[in-house]
A = this chain, B = another copy of it.
């Protein structure tokens, strides 16, 4: 095996968690740094024969605990498998290893006049393998869709070390069941992805944005839904509520008035459509009493987008944050924001909501103070209580407990509530087909899949 086996406890420990607030992290017995598919095959064979659990990780930027170690496991790190094997402009595809960072791939394809749309908040530092594992989304999805839409084919090492190819590099293909789509979003529980064939699109024009400031968060949500219902085709439709703006404002002075309680950012990356999109959006926003700015340059547009991308850091700077990831019907997003605020009051906890409003994919954040002091411990308890109720609120509004972060360990116990009995049963049985010995990421996605 050409990869490295590490047993130094400090190094292993450092590789044993992702960026989620999930605190339960077990003691792994070792860390394998794979450099090629054969390393992965050897690791899976060894582990499967001995019944040793394997937790696969890429860049470790996940937010749901999907890469957190458990006691006695191997941590399999594929971040060194980071070759961009092919960029083919004629076929509009790229073939990459799982450890390639999204940002590095995006830069590389841009140089060839192409565009890889999926852009999770972590795009600069998250890996394609991780994006595939969680079916990551981002700001682009309202126009381009999530990661799954761009994955054409995979090479996967199964739990027993056998190698499976799925899909085809062609634009279409319906030969057999869609195992590619089944593995995308499966959070490392069905196999270890060792190669990804991705679809690319022609590079769009420079994205310009319009920004609207409302004194009511839920009215901002209503305007967004009305704009889409009227035929709006934005390349971005993002939302930040007042508390989120305040948090961002603490990081970088954006000059927002404190009376602003809801901000929309509408992007358009098709130069031929920008006038019509911004006119349609501005009219609706102004009718609803908003103040609207249409950026006059790419630089100005990037500034507003950067403010949106700062949200994660801004929350982190305020303490610990439990960022939820519910997705609800567009017409229910206002109720979601209002409901989250009511839950914040009920549990006496700071909450703030931002999100990919054009998809109904909202990220309410529940903020609490770190530490072991009794007040901190109590605040954390209230934060988790609010978080649980936000998930339930998402379901009550006809939505889902996760739009793009994944289930991980954070939401594994709630997943069966959303899926229902028959779907849960089928999912558990499918998992056993791929991994009869329960080696791959036990406890992730479906908590009690081998109970």
Contact = CB atoms under 8 A, between A and B. Distances in A.
Given A90-B225, A430-B433, A172 B202 contact: no
A202 B90 contact: no
Contact of A171 (B176, B359, B430, B445): B359
Contacts of A42: none
Interface in A152-175: 158, 162-166, 168-175
Q: Interface residues of A: mostly helix, strand, loop or mixed?
A: loop
Contacts of A113: 231
Nearest to A401: B175
Contacts of A358: 171
Interface in A251-307: 270, 272-273, 276
Nearest to A164: B422
B148 A430 contact: no
A438 interface: no
Interface stretch (A13-21, A374-382, A403-411): A403-411
Interface stretch (A68-76, A77-85, A325-333): A325-333
A207 to B, nearest CB: 16
B174 A427 contact: no
Interface in A309-366: 327-331, 356, 358-361
A102 interface: no
Contact of A145 (B134, B149, B399): B149
Contacts of A361: 170-172
A186 interface: yes
Interface stretch (A22-30, A212-220, A412-420): A412-420
Which of A158, A174, A178, A328 gathers the greatest number of chain B CB atoms within 10 Å?
A174
Nearest to A272: B272
A348 to B, nearest CB: 29
Interface in A229-266: 229, 231-233
Given A91-B329, A170-B327, A434 B426 contact: yes
Contacts of A141: 171-172
Contacts of A92: 228-229
B177 A89 contact: no
B415 A175 contact: yes
A202 B166 CA distance: 33
A439 interface: no
A149 B149 contact: yes
Contact of A430 (B170, B177, B406, B418): B177
A349 B355 CA distance: 59
A446 interface: yes
A146 interface: yes
Given A90-B331, A92-B228, A170 B360 contact: yes
Given A90-B229, A329-B169, A163 B400 contact: no
Given A177-B186, A231-B113, A329-B91, A399 B446 contact: no
Contacts of A175: 400-402, 407, 411, 415, 418-419
A123 to B, nearest CB: 16
Nearest to A397: B170
A178 B185 contact: yes
A358 B201 CA distance: 13
A133 to B, nearest CB: 10
A182 interface: yes
A429 interface: yes
Contacts of A146: 172, 174
B185 A182 contact: no
A208 to B, nearest CB: 15
A137 interface: yes
A370 interface: no
Contacts of A273: 270, 272
A358 B92 CA distance: 11
A145 B356 CA distance: 23
A351 to B, nearest CB: 21
A225 B375 CA distance: 65
A184 interface: yes
Contacts of A51: none
Given A90-B329, A141-B171, 8 more contacts: A91-B330, A134-B174, A146-B174, A164-B420, A171-B327, A177-B430, A202-B231, A426-B434
